[in-house]
Amino acid sequence: MKEEKKIITDEDYKFVSLCKKGDVDAFEVLVKKHQKKMLNISYRMIGSYEEACEIVQDSFVSAYKAIRDFEGRAKFSTWLYTIVMNLSRNRLKQLKTQIYYEQVSIDDPILTDDGNIKAESVSNEPSILEQLEKKEFQQKVQGCINSLDDEFKEVLILRDIQGFSYDEISEMLKIAEGTVKSRLFRSREALKICLKKVIGDL
């Protein structure tokens, strides 16, 4: 995954320089290439599909506005994901103050974009349809991710979901690599506890 990225980044640079000259169509290529990952990052951060779509739009618009300031020291994708991370984080803070997030207890119903998932007891009834079961399970995992603190959530998403290297993560989040590692450990532990309670035996 990481190796693949490097090749893409090289391609990106061509389009980025075209964008700097005012080529809007070149920017469209970049949008098409990165929007999915952007959306996934944002969705995992916020937990709402609609909100994530808004964040991705805002991110690309501000990226275009600032593309002349992009010096190319980091990869364009890294720069782009930093933007979406920052916007998602800000939006999350906004949402929290807006609806006064109740203290998320693991036993409480967990907010997902599809609705509430009940924190279930250990004795989980087997689902009839595997597809439904899978979807439900994924929603539970997302619910647990949502319950994490922002700083732990970030590293987990970037590392375990998006597969970025520690180097890239420390670049994006502007934190030391050691910090990334320790945060990742804590967030995995927290998620493990959460999943144990939600799903039952791991």
Partner 1 sequence: MECSNIQEKLSAYIENIISYEEKLLIEEHLKSCRKCSKSLSELRKTVKYVQSLEEIEPPRWLTQKIMARVRSEVVATRFRAEPKKGVFLKLFYPLHIKLPIEAFAAIAIVITSVYIFKTIQPEMKVVQAPTGNENVIVRDEVRKQSQQLRAGATIPKDEIASPLARNDRKGSSSEEKVYAFKESKPILVKPAEPEMPAKKPENIEKYTEAPKAPAPVVRQEKVMPSAGAVVKDESKRKAISAAPKPKELVEGKGSAARRDSISLTLKVKDLETVSEEIEKVFIQLGGKKIETESFDNKKVIIIELSSKKLKELFEKLKLIGEVKEGKAALEEQEGDVRIEIEIVAISDKK
- Please report whether residue 181 would count as binding partner 1 according to CB under 8 A: yes
Considering only residues 36 to 65 of the shown chain, the ones binding partner 1 according to CB under 8 A are: 36, 39-40, 43-44, 49, 52-53, 56-57, 60-61, 64-65
Cα distance between residue 158 and residue 96, in whole Å: 22
Rounded least distance, CB 156 to partner 1, Å: 7
Nearer to partner 1, 21 or 73 (CB): 21
Nearer to partner 1, 148 or 172 (CB): 148
Strands 115-117 and 110-112: antiparallel
Rounded least distance, CB 177 to partner 1, Å: 10
- Written as six digits, the tokens of 8 are 């893409």
Cα distance between residue 77 and residue 8, in whole Å: 9
Considering only residues 145 to 164 of the shown chain, the ones binding partner 1 according to CB under 8 A are: 145, 156, 160-161
- Please report whether residue 87 would count as binding partner 1 according to CB under 8 A: no
> Which residues bind to partner 1, rule: CB under 8 A?
22, 24, 27-28, 31-32, 35-36, 39-40, 43-44, 49, 52-53, 56-57, 60-61, 64-65, 137-138, 141-142, 145, 156, 160-161, 166, 181, 184-185, 188-189, 191-192, 195-196, 202
